[in-house]
């Protein structure tokens, strides 16, 4: 079943910038946009440079929580009052989530039945197909869950697959060749990938061996196959955990960071530019993706609204 709905967006001044951060582009004088689909909790999981948005909405059904995918169009960064059109995409009867969209509109996600999970990758124009057969190349037995979490313009898919005891992250080429990601110091359980750009750079996070179960380390796997850790600097406390959730074409990233300040645990969302500059935002905002203009998308935790943060156009560093 597919539905379309036109809604108007509420646009407000964005005031979520942490007072400790100072870097371009400027969001304090930009726009903060929030909206939802039919009053349900809504999140945006991806955006591309054409203004195409993908995400999902959730609600409580007769058989428990349900989640369905959304494809959104009509976003205009130069007109914050432009209406957004929602298209509901039912990949599965109980739960489905679109996780990412490429620069040319390819879409990746998964459909989840009540039990077990059913992997899918959307190819384009609402068509999708199972990719589970490729998982036979992974170095463990039959999997019982699999998630396609991103795709780039070349059709390279990233995702996570596991069997309850082992969880691995992978890169799947259009040819069917599959690479399992093994960042230095990773634990075999709970490795996640969250974004890929057209250059082939992949970002994600993992739980280090022997560390607290609440500690994660973020990484980028460069297109040449080498790895680097991603750890934004926080001058007012100690960084304890980092998760990168998205990357754009020039290598800017968004994610979540946990810090300790005077024995107090705090969390923030962040934008980390390719040149190392960083901005922090309220931990109430979950930033899942960004485009080349550093328009940021995600969800507002307490309200359940989808959000778009636009920088002040006068401060944009990528033209």
Long-range contacts of 216-221 (CB under 8 A, 24+ apart): 216/241, 216/242, 216/243, 217/183, 217/185, 217/241, 217/242, 218/242, 218/243, 218/244, 218/255, 219/183, 219/244, 220/244, 220/247, 220/253, 221/171, 221/181, 221/183
- Dist CA 221 CA 173 (whole Å): 15
Residue 116 near residue 144, CB atoms below 8 Å:
yes
Nearest in space to 31 (alpha carbons), one of 7, 48, 15? 15
Residues shown for the chain = 319
What pLDDT is stored for residue 143 in this prediction?
A: 52
Model confidence pLDDT, tens digit, residues 144-161: 567 788 999 998 989 887
What tokens were used for 198?
């057209």
Residue 85 near residue 6, CB atoms below 8 Å:
yes
What tokens were used for 271?
């934008």
On the 0-12 / 13-18 / 19+ scale of CB atoms within 10 A, 8 is exposed
What pLDDT is stored for residue 68 in this prediction?
A: 82
Residue 296 near residue 25, CB atoms below 8 Å:
no
Residue 80 near residue 31, CB atoms below 8 Å:
yes
Model confidence pLDDT, tens digit, residues 197-207: 999 999 999 88
Residue 111 near residue 92, CB atoms below 8 Å:
yes
pTM above 0.85, yes or no: no
- Dist CA 114 CA 306 (whole Å): 25
- Which residues in the chain land under pLDDT 50? 1-23, 93, 112-118, 123-128, 130-141, 314-319
Element (H, E) at 168: strand 167-172
The DSSP output letter for 133 is: G
Q: Which residues pair with 219 in a beta bridge?
A: 204, 229
Q: Which residues contact 166 (CB under 8 A, 6 or more apart)?
A: 140, 188, 189
Q: Which residues pair with 266 in a beta bridge?
A: 259
The full set of domain ranges for the chain reads 2-315
- Dist CA 158 CA 170 (whole Å): 6
Looking at domain 2-315, its CATH class is mainly beta
Q: Which residues pair with 89 in a beta bridge?
A: 2, 69
- Dist CA 167 CA 158 (whole Å): 14
Q: How far is CA 312 from CA 20, 25, 30, 103, in A?
A: 19, 7, 4, 23
Q: How far is CA 4 from CA 81, 117, 181, 299, in A?
A: 18, 26, 38, 21
Residue 23 near residue 277, CB atoms below 8 Å:
yes
């Amino acid at each position: 079943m597919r539905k379309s709905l036109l809604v108007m967006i509420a646009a407000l001044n964005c005031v979520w910038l942490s007072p400790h951060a100072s870097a371009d582009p400027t969001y304090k004088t930009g726009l903060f946009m929030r909206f939802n689909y039919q009053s349900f909790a809504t999140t945006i999981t991806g955006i591309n440079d054409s203004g195409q948005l993908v995400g999902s909405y959730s609600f409580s059904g007769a058989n428990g929580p349900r989640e369905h995918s959304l494809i959104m169009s009509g976003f205009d960064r130069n007109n914050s009052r432009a209406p957004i059109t929602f298209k509901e995409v039912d990949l599965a009867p109980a739960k489905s989530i679109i996780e990412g969209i490429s620069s040319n509109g390819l879409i990746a996600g998964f459909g989840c039945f009540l039990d077990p999970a059913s992997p899918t990758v959307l190819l384009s124009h609402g068509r999708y197909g199972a990719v589970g057969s490729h998982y036979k190349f992974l170095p463990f037995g039959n999997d019982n869950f699999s998630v396609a979490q991103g795709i780039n313009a070349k059709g390279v898919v990233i995702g996570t697959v596991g069997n309850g005891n082992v969880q691995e992250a992978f890169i799947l080429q259009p040819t069917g060749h599959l690479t399992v990601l093994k960042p230095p110091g990773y634990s075999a359980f709970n490795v996640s990938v969250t974004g890929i750009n057209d250059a082939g750079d992949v970002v994600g996070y993992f739980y280090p061996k022997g560390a607290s179960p609440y500690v994660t380390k973020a990484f980028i796997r460069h297109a040449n196959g080498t790895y680097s850790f991603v750890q934004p600097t926080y001058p007012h406390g100690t960084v304890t955990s980092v998760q990168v959730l998205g990357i754009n074409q020039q290598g800017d990233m968004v994610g979540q960071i946990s810090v300790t300040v005077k024995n107090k645990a705090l969390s923030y969302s962040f934008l980390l530019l390719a040149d190392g500059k960083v901005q922090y935002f309220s931990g109430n905002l979950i930033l899942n993706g960004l485009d080349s203009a550093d328009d940021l998308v995600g969800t507002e935790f307490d309200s359940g609204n989808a959000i778009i943060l636009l920088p002040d156009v006068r401060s944009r560093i990528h033209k």
